[in-house]
């Protein structure tokens, strides 16, 4: 069974063909990162314009690379939220148009369900499991007791982890997107600057990164006023250590409480080496099975949408032609 | 040649199926419902009523702007995706020309306009050719209405000007004040775009082999994104 996945929720136009929910036959990603760089962030209107220019070409390439025709495709799975509404609408409009024109069933996929299901393209899921979702827009701990079931144990109360990375990167005058630069710098420095850890209430699985972000900005500001110099690498290392420590402690605590058979990492920040390495060490020590997708499946892509869509296909959950882009769509909807 | 035509570029949503000889069916709504939700069901309904299957279509026509950026994109993304999936040609036409078509046969200048905020309008000057089509005399643009009225007056002299468009009520007073009796305001039944007009224009293009490859079809916003404009301005400093 082959599913066509389509993803346009932010600044990547992507289409993929997935076989049986587990195998990638193609995963074409037209990234706009270079286009948004000069604006210092993703500009929604610019992103939407790019999507509409490249949507059909991207899908065509995905079909060609997979060597499949419309007759082979069982369903079209498209991200319908959350994300930038104008960007989502392009993928949704294209998916609906093709679904109608070719009589192929339509499936609406939640973007974060996609990120979680990127892991199934690496290794089969075993339930119950805990997934740590970390990206530029999300920081969530998700409990899954079976396929297609999501329960949010905790989420960020302010900035997403990736957002904090980008803001700290900006304060260090690093180019956009800042996450990878902080990660790289952190490995060159030492975490010797004291920064807070935001644990919130003892039993909470929620996160908060705005206090940490402010502490970094204050540290920089105070140093400038005193005429002292702070090594950016040390600050990056200290910041990263604080973020990673909180993420890992809460993930491990959830994994233990819910007797998880697996811990999955999902979202763009899963590409962060500091987080990956620290999680690997910790999970091994605790005897918990850890899955982290390769880099290309961590950032936005349509393969993960096809993988998540496969589960909905098997459950017979289809969308109708009035499917709309939902910028604030909840994972549990 | 059987053509599906759609317009979602402004508040009006219109869908039509037609060939060279007649309009098989047309549905137009001015209820400002979300085009993303309504468009595909509208297409499905019109095709159903006309007993036309998607694979029986020979071409797709769409209003490619100017208008609401999101609205234009919903139409263009839908049209190019359908055309590509069905392997038929597609053509994008000016949303202003679609409205001007409603004045087919009018002997003076035809001025369709959409409000573009901050005193600006999307507009152009059209002229009826026989009672078959309307052609651009002054190209589509986004402009301050007051400047536009000066320019258009200079172009046509004392000739009458027919103003049309759903947003006319926002600008009618200024137009009347500037042009007096030279400005004509027709019955409001001519204000909204009709997909059949777009389909008709498209059929002329298809006849001349002018259809676009689906991948190449892009909206015509008539202006760069605001962030882009600011960035460009900064570079010039």
For A51-100, the pLDDT digits (tens) are: 999 999 999 999 999 999 999 999 999 999 999 999 999 999 999 999 99
- Sort out which chain B residues have CB atoms less than 8 A from A322's CB and list them: 37-38, 40-41
Report the topology of domain B96-190.
Answer: Nucleotidyltransferase; domain 5 (3.30.420)
CATH 3.30.420.40 residue ranges of chain B are 3-95+193-229, 96-190
Query: Is residue B226 less than 8 Å (CB to CB) from chain A?
Result: yes
Tokens encoding B59: 């071409």
pLDDT value at position A135?
Answer: 87
For A193-222, the pLDDT digits (tens) are: 999 999 999 999 999 999 999 999 999 999
CA-to-CA distance for B119 and A257, rounded, in angstroms?
61
Task: Indicate the residue of B54, B77, B231 with minimum beta-carbon distance to A55.
Answer: B77
pLDDT value at position A178?
Answer: 86
CA-to-CA distance for A292 and A276, rounded, in angstroms?
8
Q: What is the architecture, at CATH level 2, of domain B3-95+193-229? A: 2-Layer Sandwich (3.30)
- Sort out which chain B residues have CB atoms less than 8 A from A70's CB and list them: 85
Q: Please, which pLDDT band fits residue B14 given cuts at 50, 70 and 90?
A: very high
CA distances in angstroms from B71 to B6, B31, B38, B62, B224, listed in the order given = 11, 14, 12, 12, 16
Q: Name the residue among B113, B114, B127, B134 with its Cα closest to residue B156.
A: B127
pLDDT value at position A18?
Answer: 98
Instruction: Kindly state the average pLDDT of the residues B142-153.
Output: 97
Maximum distance among all alpha carbons in chain B? 59
Domains of chain A and CATH, by start: 2-116+298-315 (3.30.420.40), 124-292 (3.30.420.40)
CA-to-CA distance for B7 and B60, rounded, in angstroms?
11
CB-based contact B109:B116 (threshold 8 Å): no
Is B218–A52 a contact, with Cβ atoms under 8 angstroms apart? yes
CA-to-CA distance for A52 and B69, rounded, in angstroms?
11
Dihedral sign, CA of B36, B40, B41, B43? positive
For A122-136, the pLDDT digits (tens) are: 999 999 999 999 988
- Report the residue of chain A nearest B217, measured CA to CA: A53
pLDDT value at position A95?
Answer: 98
Cα angle at A28 between A150 and B87, to 5 degrees?
Answer: 110
CB-based contact A192:A234 (threshold 8 Å): yes
Q: Smallest CA–CA separation between A92 and chain B, in Å?
A: 8
CA distances in angstroms from B112 to A15, A67, B169, B201, listed in the order given = 39, 47, 13, 16
Q: Smallest CA–CA separation between B218 and chain A, in Å?
A: 6
Q: Please, which pLDDT band fits residue B33 given cuts at 50, 70 and 90?
A: confident
């Amino acid at each position: 069974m082959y599913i066509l996945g389509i993803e346009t929720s932010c600044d990547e136009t992507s289409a993929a063909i997935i076989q049986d929910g587990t195998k990638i036959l193609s995963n074409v990603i037209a990234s706009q990162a270079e286009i948004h760089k000069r604006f210092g962030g993703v500009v929604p209107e610019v992103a939407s314009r790019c999507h509409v220019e490249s949507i059909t070409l991207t899908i065509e390439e995905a079909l060609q690379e997979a060597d499949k025709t419309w007759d082979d495709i069982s369903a079209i799975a498209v991200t319908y939220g959350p994300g930038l509404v104008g960007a989502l609408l392009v993928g949704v409009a294209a998916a609906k148009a093709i679904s109608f024109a070719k009589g192929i069933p339509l499936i609406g996929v939640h973007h974060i369900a996609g990120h979680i299901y990127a892991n199934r393209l690496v290794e089969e899921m075993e339930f119950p499991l805990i997934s740590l979702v970390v990206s530029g827009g999300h920081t969530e701990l998700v409990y899954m007791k079976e396929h297609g079931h999501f329960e949010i144990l905790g989420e960020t109360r302010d900035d997403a982890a990736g957002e904090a990375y980008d803001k700290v990167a900006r304060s260090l005058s690093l180019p956009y997107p800042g996450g990878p630069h902080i990660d790289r710098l952190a490995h060159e420095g030492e975490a010797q600057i004291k920064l807070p850890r935001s644990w919130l209430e003892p039993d909470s699985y929620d996160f908060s990164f705005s206090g940490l972000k402010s502490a970094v900005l204050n540290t920089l500001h105070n140093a400038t006023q005193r005429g002292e110099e702070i090594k950016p690498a040390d600050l990056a290392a200290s910041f990263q250590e604080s973020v990673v420590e909180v993420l890992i402690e809460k993930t491990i605590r959830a994994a233990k409480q819910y007797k998880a058979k697996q811990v999955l990492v999902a979202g763009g920040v899963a590409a962060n080496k500091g987080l990956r390495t620290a999680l690997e060490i910790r999970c091994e020590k605790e005897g918990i099975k850890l899955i982290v997708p390769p880099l290309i499946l961590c950032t936005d892509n349509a393969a993960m949408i096809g993988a998540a869509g496969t589960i909905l296909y098997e459950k017979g959950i289809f969308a109708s032609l009035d499917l709309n882009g939902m910028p604030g769509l909840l994972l549990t909807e | 040649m059987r053509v599906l035509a759609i317009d979602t570029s402004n508040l009006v949503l219109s869908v039509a199926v037609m060939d060279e000889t007649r309009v098989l069916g047309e549905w137009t709504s001015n209820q400002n419902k979300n085009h993303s939700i309504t468009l595909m069901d509208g297409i499905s309904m019109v095709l159903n009523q006309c007993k036309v299957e998607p694979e029986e279509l020979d071409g797709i026509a769409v209003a490619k702007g100017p208008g609401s950026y999101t609205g234009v994109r919903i139409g263009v993304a839908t049209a190019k995706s359908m055309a590509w999936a069905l392997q038929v040609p597609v053509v994008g036409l000016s949303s202003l020309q679609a409205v001007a078509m409603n004045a087919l046969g009018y002997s003076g200048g035809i001025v369709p306009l959409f409000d573009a905020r901050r005193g600006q309008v999307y507009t152009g000057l059209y002229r009826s050719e026989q009672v078959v089509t309307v052609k651009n005399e002054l190209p589509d643009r986004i402009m301050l209405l007051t400047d536009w009225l000066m320019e258009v007056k200079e172009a046509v002299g004392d000739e009458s000007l027919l103003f049309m468009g759903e947003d006319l009520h926002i600008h009618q007073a200024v137009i009347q004040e500037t042009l007096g009796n030279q400005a004509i305001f027709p019955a409001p039944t001519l204000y909204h775009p009709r997909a059949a007009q777009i389909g008709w224009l498209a059929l002329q293009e298809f006849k001349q082999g002018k259809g676009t490859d689906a991948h190449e079809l892009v909206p015509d916003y008539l202006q760069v994104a605001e962030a882009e404009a600011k960035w460009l301005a900064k570079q010039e400093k």
